[in-house]
Amino acid sequence: MSNTNFSTNFNQSLAAQRDRLLKHIAMTGHVSTIEARNNLNILHPAGRIQELRESGHVILLTWEWQNDHEGRPHKIGRYHYMGVRACFRKRLAEGMA
């Protein structure tokens, strides 16, 4: 995965983590658990994904095997961004969601 040019001085608030994750998956279309941890500095990507889903974003999950930084294989989730549910589009556009 290529670096998405985020600063190494990450804000660790949940809102900032959701924002980084959403910007990344909206731009690239997907992210794995390991990529989110290593490149976006999000320790619990599944939690942030669930929060994004609850705010109207459609994010699908597939499973795959991926090696960690030490070459050990792990079965991990890859999250695929599909957009925003129609019922939330207007609210998001108005900044209400």
Residue 41 CA to residue 62 CA, distance in Å, equals 21
- When pLDDT is cut at 50, 70 and 90, the band that residue 90 belongs to is low
What is the distance of C-alpha 4 from the center of its chain? 13
pLDDT in tens, 23-75: 999 999 999 999 999 999 999 999 999 999 999 999 999 999 999 889 999 99
* C-alpha count within 13 angstroms, C-beta hemisphere, residue 82: 10
For residue 76, the model assigns a pLDDT of: 95
Residue 25 CA to residue 18 CA, distance in Å, equals 11
